[in-house]
Amino acid sequence: MQLFVFIVEFLERVKQRVLDVKTMNMSMSCLLLQLLDEILVYVVGIPHDKLSQQQALDLNFELERFYALANLLELKIGFHDFNNFYNERALIDLYDKCLGEILCLDRFDRVRKDEVNTLINELGDQAERGVPKGLTPDERRMIHLAMVKDFYPGNEQGHWFKCGSCPEIYCITECGGAMQMASCPSCKATIGGEHHRYVAGTRLASEMDGATRPAWPVTLH
């Protein structure tokens, strides 16, 4: 019974993590399913109704490996597979390094988990700083100047923002405070805000106008 309860709880945690993951392509789904299959093969090999403390620990380590893979794939999805970024090659190389660390045969203990999480955080930071190709600095400046007429006089900076889930850039005119919410055209996450407050995760797109703070004096969070 102890083993049965453990397996049920274990699979419930896996199921919840899978449900949390947004739409994936076929190759990403196969990666998760392959890792899950390996975990289940290990579970089936455990003698009936016997679960040692070490086996329970090993299974929890493998669950952490599964979580890390899901986190990495979600990050890649959020940044559109890093396609069309100026630092695309560096991002893909770091992604491949993360993936290799997760899927290697070594035990996914606490040390390896911390190392992988550090790599994933580094990948996220580099992707955040990366600028999608398509607009040169001059083009961004021209777009900004074309929009200035819709900003309140004397308040020409801090109207450009990034979606909290992807690099999509959008503009809030007039005072610069968010008064309505919308769906990001790239990832469908909520952007904008209400009552002059921005939705959580909103980032300033300072590459558009050199702004260091939003036009409307509210802290981004």
pLDDT of 142 reads 87
Q: What is the pLDDT of residue 154?
A: 82
Alpha helices in 45-153 (DSSP H): 53-78, 88-103, 110-129, 137-147
CA dihedral 141, 145, 151, 152 (to 10 degrees): 110
pLDDT single digits (tens) 118-142? 999 999 888 877 666 667 778 888 8
| Residue 14 burial class via C-beta count within 10 angstroms: exposed 0-12, middle 13-18, buried 19 and up | buried
pLDDT, tens digit (0-9, with 9 covering 90-100), for 48-75: 566 677 777 777 788 888 888 888 888 8
Question: pTM here?
Answer: 0.53
Q: How far apart are CA 170 and CA 205, in angstroms?
A: 8
8 Å CB contact between 162 and 205: yes
Token pair for residue 110?
């606490």
Average pLDDT in the 184-201 region?
89
Distance CA 168, CA 205 (A): 9
